[in-house]
Amino acid sequence: MSGLRGRAAIVGVADAVSPTGELEGSVRALEVAMIREALDDAGLAISDVDAVFSNLSAGWAPAMELAEYLGLAPQWVDSTQTGGSSFEIHVEHAAAAIALGLCEVAVIVYAATPRSSFKRGGGGYASRGAMPGPTPGAEWELPYGMRAPMGAYALAASRHMHEFGTTSEQLAQIAVDTRRWAAQNPRARLQELITVDDVLASPFEASPLHKLDCCLVTDGAGAVVLTSAERARSLRKPPALVLGTGTCTTHSMISEMPDLTTTGAAVSGPLAFAAAGLTPADVDVVQIYDSFTITVLLLLEDLGFCPKGEGGGFVADGVLAPGGALPANTTGGGLAYTHPGMFGIFLLVEAVRQLRGECGPRQVAGAEVALAHGSGGVLSAMSTVILGTEATA
């Protein structure tokens, strides 16, 4: 069990989404709004912040530039960029820094407006464009028709189907269950219930993945605030203690993934559970990156919720849906809630809200342990965070 267990806590959260998929304001304005809201949620002020985590900016040093904009002189800045898992890694780094006394109050923030940008004539989020610069992927994958990013996930899905007999119907059930959660969330982009047949009838994006197997493209923003467990107990909301974390990166290009059916979550998950002194059976609610339905299936296996190769059967009967044995992606996830390009911050926000009992009709009764797992790149960078209430300390 890690010596860091329970020494830091998430004490403030905020996110901004819209059923239209669009938000008003610049990325910087959204970042500032989220920081203010998350600090207010915690009962803290901007003057309390001495660590800034941000990985998205037009400049070369996002966290430093944001700190300057906020008028801060932080003791710790971190611009780690691993795509959708960045924010789980930020929690890991912040919790370690707090435990070591290197900072006391850390803010992690993300905002992006690809949908609004595209409608205003900007680049938005393109899946067919060339990768910027002379990257290995631009040289060795895109010329052969690899559609990014869905082509990479289609390869993983095809391989899983070949090796284990997983079916499109089983993947579709993940989208159906996620939409059932979204139907209980008035902030979700897509709230209409769907069926397995609806998923299979939607057009292919990259075979075997259909449109409804794929995440949204929306605007979105979010922030989380961490401090020491000791200080957390005197703040406004019940703390979500950081019980365990783990990270593993395995590749950058999908063609270099060691095994298309096994991700780095097979390392990050056990690391986090060992640090927390828990097992998958102890988890009450899961917030798991759902860029595509195959992402969810692979991560459930690799995190230990079911054996490798048995994910299709595991999800087939609605285990992830409201009332299921493993409530997952209770906002509606990246498939139906929001997905501005990197979804990891929203996993953390919802995990904390579930532990506080703040989720209204989608609340998981008695939730005391929540897992948030981010996936970055093309199944490339995995990071797992296990959070708990004071009852789990």
Residue 111: partners with Cβ closer than 8 Å, 6 or more residues away: 16, 27, 28, 30, 31, 34, 56, 220, 221, 222, 340
Active site residue 337: yes
Q: Determine phi and psi for 222, rounding to 5 degrees.
A: -165, 165
Select which of 69, 125, 144, 337 is catalytic.
337
Token pair listed for 189:
């982009």
* Under 8 Å between Cβ of 297 and 168: no
Examine the residue annotation and report whether 289 is marked as an active-site residue of this protein.
Answer: yes
Q: Is the dihedral of CA 143, 290, 86, 278 positive or negative?
A: negative
H or E segment to which residue 300 belongs: helix 293-302
- For residue 323, count CB atoms less than 10 angstroms from its CB and return exposed for 0-12, middle for 13-18, buried for 19 or more: exposed
Q: Which residues pair with 105 in a beta bridge?
A: 227
How far apart CA 166 and CA 158 sit, in angstroms, is 9
Q: What one-character-per-residue DSSP string does 161-175 give?
A: HHHH---HHHHHHHH
d(CA 278, CA 275) in angstroms, rounded, equals 8
Closest CA to 327 of 344, 298, 294, 305: 305
Instruction: Give the span between the Cα atoms of 281 and 277, in whole angstroms.
Output: 12
CA 117/CA 177 separation, integer angstroms: 30
DSSP of 31-100, one letter per residue?
HHHHHHHHHHHHT--GGG--EEE----SSS-HHHHHHHHHT---SEEE---BTBTHHHHHHHHHHHHHHT
Provide the 3-class DSSP secondary structure of residue 122: coil
Say how far apart CA 355 and CA 235 lie, in whole Å. 16
The span from the CA of 176 to the CA of 181, in Å, is 9
- Residues classed as catalytic: 289, 337
